[in-house]
Structure 1
């Protein structure tokens, strides 16, 4: 089976939205004002198909095997976080009744930020996540960035191990929606 990494298109929403929700886990539930992760999928389908937001197809690479999407990575220029987040927060307030959600700034200007990385369960442990991250780093470099950053849950040892094996280093901790995450970065 040959792995292909490509830029996402709006038509990829059916495959990518569930992957985004899988990556975010309980945070996606908070956005959908629900305890059921499936309730968050329509929200991410909606935003994935739109431009100029943090979950847009414009900011996403997908991994395909035999023309089926098996993984995705979404990220953007950290300087655009607040601009990209604004329509999302307004939408969840109006359509999901999410009020007073405190979201700290998870990235900074000068950092190309990985917001979500996810591989479908049946395709995990095959190196697909590593391929996606390497392509994302290459994309960041081509866009004249010098570092890529991300947040990883402190108890997600497997994900942290992947990032460290790719050359990321701990740059401290960040709080997001009440949870402490490790802030990892790679410079190139």
Structure 2
């Protein structure tokens, strides 16, 4: 079952966000300390008005109420607004002065930021259900395009997104990495 996230999901969701982001998460926390990075994303998950907030997260729970996956998604037009609190906090508490990552999304796009499934639950279609839920949410909110970034060498994820109907639109550089910018068109 997919439901909206709750603040109480923070301890389970933070590691999933980090799993989805990989090395980027540690660039944001400005440390290789895994626990400090988890604490950073727990903090922002519990807060409002930021990219990684519970407000912008859907979760997958099984019949035993175990949280096994998450999708963080939002209106691309709100990127600057959602990023401001995050970047200000990183500057003040994590020493990232003048850190201004490239925009990963833009107006006119509902952006799937992080999609992650617990390692023990992978291969069971949970990721596909989360992607579908993101597309449905985008349509309900009136969006006609859903976007995401996938590392150019992440062939498994690339194939999954292509099988779900996403197409490569262009290439983007983001915090030193190369990504496919993929889009899904919603037709009414």
Alignment match, 1:61:
58
Structure 2 stretches of 5 or more lacking a match?
none
Q: 1:160 to 1:59 in 2, by over 3 A?
A: same
Per-residue deviation at 1:98? Answer: 1.5
**1:181: which partner in 2?**
179
Cα deviation per residue 1:60-93 (whole Å; 9 max; x = unaligned)? 0000111011000001000000100010001011
Aligned to 2:12: 15
User: 1:153 and 2:162 equivalent?
Assistant: no
Asked if the contact 1:21–1:37 (Cα under 8 Å) also holds between the matched residues in 2, the reply is no
How far apart are the structure 2 equivalents of 1:171 and 1:35? 33
Distance 2:97 2:16 in 1: 25
Which deviates more from structure 2 when the two are superposed, residues 34-43 or residues 110-119? 34-43
Pairing of 1:108-119 with structure 2 (within 5 A)? 108-119=106-117
* Shift, 1:115, TM fit: 0.7
The answer for the alignment partner of 2:29 in structure 1 is: 32
Aligned to 1:169: 167
Contact 1:25 1:37 in 2 (8 A): no
Q: Is the 8 A contact 2:91 2:99 kept in 1?
A: no
Task: Describe the SS at the equivalent of 2:111.
Answer: strand
- 1:34-113 paired onto structure 2 within 5 Å: 34-65=31-62, 66-113=64-111
Separation in structure 1 between the aligned mates of residue 99 and residue 158 of structure 2, nearest angstrom: 27
2:6 and 2:35 map into 1 onto residues whose CA distance is: 22
CA contact under 8 A between 1:152 and 1:181: conserved in structure 2? Answer: yes
In the alignment of these two chains, the number of paired residues is: 185
Where structure 1 has 5 or more consecutive residues not aligned to the other structure, the ranges are none
Distance of 1:36 and 1:121 partners within structure 2: 21
